[in-house]
Amino acid sequence: MCGIICYTGKKKVIPILMDGLKRLEYRGYDSAGLAVVENGKTFMVKSKGKVSSLEAKLSDSSSEATFGIAHTRWATHGKPSEINAHPQFGCNNKVSVVHNGIIENYLEIKEELIEKGHEFTSDTDTEVIAHLIEQNFNGDLERAVLKSIEKLDGAFGIAAIHSDVDHKIVVVKRGSPIIIGIGENEYFAASDSTALAPYTNQMIYLSDDEMAVLNSTEYYIKNLSNEVLKKKVEFVDSDIYTNDKKGFEHFMLKEIFEQPETIENAFRGRIIESEGVSKLGGLEPVIDRLKNMKKLIIISCGTSYYSGLIGRYIFEELTELNVETEVASEFRYRKLKLDKNVAVLAISQSGETADTLAALKEAKRKGALLLGIVNGVGTSIPQLTDAGVYNHAGPEIGVASTKIYTSQLVILTLIALLIGRYQGMSFTEGKEIINAIKKLPDQIREILSNAKMIKEIALKYSVYNDFLYIGRLFNFPTAMEGALKLKEISYIHAEGYAAGEMKHGPISLIDENFPTVAIATDDLVLEKILSNMEEIKARDGKILAITNEGEKKVKKIADDIIAVPRTLPLLQPILNVIPLQLFAYYIADEKGCNIDKPRNLAKSVTVE
């Protein structure tokens, strides 16, 4: 993986491909490359490192080519290098392929092809695709691709061209996103609609095991049985894809400051205040089934997993459901007892997370009701699930998730409120939750107004190399998310722990050089976490506390405090995480880290 952009039409292709690659940079990558065809010959340029390095190599190019493919790679098989960058090609340099995903049986295929005389130059699994297409090519690229993918096991989004086939691009999706863009006598393909936004607002989202064939005058879509399909063309508001920092130094900081608006977007039009209930149109088709469910399993990865952990507490508080939260990558390996009385809720920023998709497919096989919370419209998870809710938060460019996390927490609360009002929750309780949700945007604005103070505290703590984050109840997952943010963007070692578990191991690490971030806001476990803080102070540990205004007991123990407004305990994590996001950001900025594109990380994880 990570980013694909393709074009066939009348315009010079290299500027379009380079613009697409730049728009895909936010996804995280380690090399880039492109292949274009002109006068029956392939022109390929690849570079390790940033897209700017590739651009420099192309500065003297006078190519007039009008079709080609390009890619930003995040290494899976083989180290980041020019030879391992995509596109990959066959022995005769006529077939060029870009690929997101993983080919699980590539070694077996590679050995077969070597026996047939093929010579490989890279360490990638992708190269076998190019050699397979070359092996199967007899003048018909479409047929060669179809025949080749019959042998592939794994997940992939593939785009292929051949120098003997003018202006034709063949793309295939299985588990990794591919989107078709439709222009006037020009067609595009990409792994992310962001890359297509400047050129068209007409897009088709391929489903698994679908192939699109593009040339400069037409396109058509088939299934892998070679049957032509009619797919709905989506009209996408391209304005939401404007990659503008709006005066902020980094996208991450911009997205932290966008949270009052993204939270408003999460609940706008989704609450009926007069009835103390939420209204979620995306769940209406399954509401009769959903309100009678006995069990809910939340599956997700990374930051979305931590929002799912808080979601478990929220659903337990507001509904009568038996709730579990599972890491999606482990879910399908368990002996699962799922049936029509179990709902499985997938949470994913991108809507393409490979592990979450694989877990959903396993749940579908066993008859569970499939639900989703996704930001990416038209992506794979919404296509697979029975119903769901979109974040409508706009693109999140920073690799480390911020605004989507808090949006997810609001939507989880709205879903729990909807179910809870069909069960034992009273109107008064529902109204109280709605009132608290409506106050969140202004409360976040209040926290953001103190960003300068939070920055001063962050600079004070930026000298440390290790951190412990602790919390209890709703704020145990908040501690883990705070630690994750610091790890992701500053590369500082940080651990998030349930505060009660601290004495069962982590306290051995505490000394004057190992500070603790304690989330100590006003709830029924405040006294417990105060005791944990005392244990840390007794061992000379420094403490930064996230607490509410006027919490005098916390102030007596902590070395530094960041105060946040009060809300209902189940919503308090939404406010508590804002200073943790800013704290991580300012430390990373002080250390000179690449905040929007942290090393080794990708925004959309489309491999298992």
DSSP string, 180-229: EEE-SS-EEEESSGGGTTTT-SEEEEPPTTEEEEE-SS-EEEEETTS-EE
Band (pLDDT 50/70/90 cuts) for residue 605 is low
Share of the chain above pLDDT 70, in %: 97
Amino acid at 338: L
Strands 88-89 and 67-73 turn out to be unpaired
Q: Measure the CA–CA gap between 346 and 357, rounded to whole angstroms.
A: 8
pLDDT (tens digit per residue) in 128-147: 999 999 999 999 999 999 99
Q: What is the mean pLDDT of the chain?
A: 91
Residues 6+ away with beta carbon under 8 Å from 248: 254, 257
Q: Among 17-31, 93-107, 175-189, 591-605, which stretch is predicted with the lowest mean pLDDT?
A: 591-605
pLDDT tops 60 at residue 275 = yes
Q: How far is CA 365 from CA 299, 374, 384, 585, in A?
A: 16, 21, 12, 42
Per-residue confidence (pLDDT) for residue 334, from 0 to 100: 84
Under 8 Å between Cβ of 299 and 343: no
Provide the CA 333 distance to its chain's centre, in angstroms.
Answer: 22
Specify the 3-state DSSP secondary structure of 516.
strand
pLDDT (tens digit per residue) in 153-210: 988 899 999 999 999 999 999 878 899 999 988 999 998 888 898 899 899 999 889 9
Higher pLDDT, residue 71 or 234:
71
Q: Which fold has domain 451-590?
A: Rossmann fold (3.40.50)
Under 8 Å between Cβ of 44 and 25: no
pLDDT tops 70 at residue 608 = no
Share of the chain above pLDDT 90, in %: 71
Vertex 262: Cα angle to 544 and 320 (nearest 5): 80
pLDDT tops 90 at residue 377 = no
Band (pLDDT 50/70/90 cuts) for residue 601 is confident
The answer to whether 2-241 and 251-443 have equal CATH topology is no
Vertex 118: Cα angle to 116 and 120 (nearest 5): 145
Per-residue confidence (pLDDT) for residue 237, from 0 to 100: 67
Scanning 259-353, the segments in alpha helix (DSSP H) are 259-267, 287-290, 302-318, 328-331
Cis preceding-peptide flag for 87 (omega within 30 of 0) = yes
- Rounded to an integer, the average pLDDT of 50-72 is 91
Burial class for 11, CB neighbours closer than 10 Å (0-12, 13-18, 19+): middle
pLDDT (tens digit per residue) in 283-337: 999 999 998 898 999 999 999 999 999 999 999 999 999 999 999 999 988 888 8
pLDDT tops 70 at residue 441 = yes
Under 8 Å between Cβ of 47 and 85: yes
Per-residue confidence (pLDDT) for residue 242, from 0 to 100: 57
Q: In this structure, which CATH number among 3.40.50.720, 3.60.20.10, 3.30.70.360, 3.40.50.2300 belongs to the domain 2-241?
A: 3.60.20.10
Q: Tell which residue, 357, 300, 307, 351, has the closest CA to residue 327.
A: 300
Q: Measure the CA–CA gap between 70 and 40, rounded to whole angstroms.
A: 18
pLDDT tops 90 at residue 109 = yes
Under 8 Å between Cβ of 584 and 490: yes
Active site residue 340: no
Under 8 Å between Cβ of 307 and 409: yes
Under 8 Å between Cβ of 398 and 487: no
Per-residue confidence (pLDDT) for residue 336, from 0 to 100: 80
Under 8 Å between Cβ of 25 and 192: no
Question: Which H or E run contains 389?
Answer: strand 387-390
- Rounded to an integer, the average pLDDT of 57-72 is 91
Q: In this structure, which CATH number among 3.40.50.620, 3.30.465.10, 3.40.50.300, 3.40.50.10490 belongs to the domain 251-443?
A: 3.40.50.10490
Band (pLDDT 50/70/90 cuts) for residue 238 is low
**Which own/partner contact pairs does 501-505 have at CB distance under 8 Å and 24+ positions apart?**
502/468, 502/470, 502/532, 502/535, 502/536, 503/532, 503/535
- Rounded to an integer, the average pLDDT of 113-140 is 94
Strands 493-498 and 516-519 turn out to be unpaired
Domain assignments of the chain as residue spans, ordered by start: 2-241, 251-443, 451-590
Write the Ramachandran bin of 541: left for phi over 0, alpha for psi from -120 to 50, otherwise beta.
beta
Active site residue 2: yes
Per-residue confidence (pLDDT) for residue 291, from 0 to 100: 86
pLDDT tops 60 at residue 461 = yes
Per-residue confidence (pLDDT) for residue 607, from 0 to 100: 52
pLDDT tops 80 at residue 236 = no
- Rounded to an integer, the average pLDDT of 537-557 is 92
Per-residue confidence (pLDDT) for residue 41, from 0 to 100: 93
Band (pLDDT 50/70/90 cuts) for residue 281 is very high
Strands 219-223 and 210-214 turn out to be antiparallel
Q: Tell which residue, 9, 57, 11, 64, has the closest CA to residue 34.
A: 57
Structure token digits, residue 302: 């990374």
- Rounded to an integer, the average pLDDT of 363-381 is 89
Band (pLDDT 50/70/90 cuts) for residue 389 is very high
Strands 169-174 and 179-182 turn out to be unpaired
Residue of 168, 485, 487, 603 with catalytic role: 603
Burial class for 422, CB neighbours closer than 10 Å (0-12, 13-18, 19+): middle
Band (pLDDT 50/70/90 cuts) for residue 43 is very high
Higher pLDDT, residue 368 or 194:
368
Structure token digits, residue 77: 């098989």
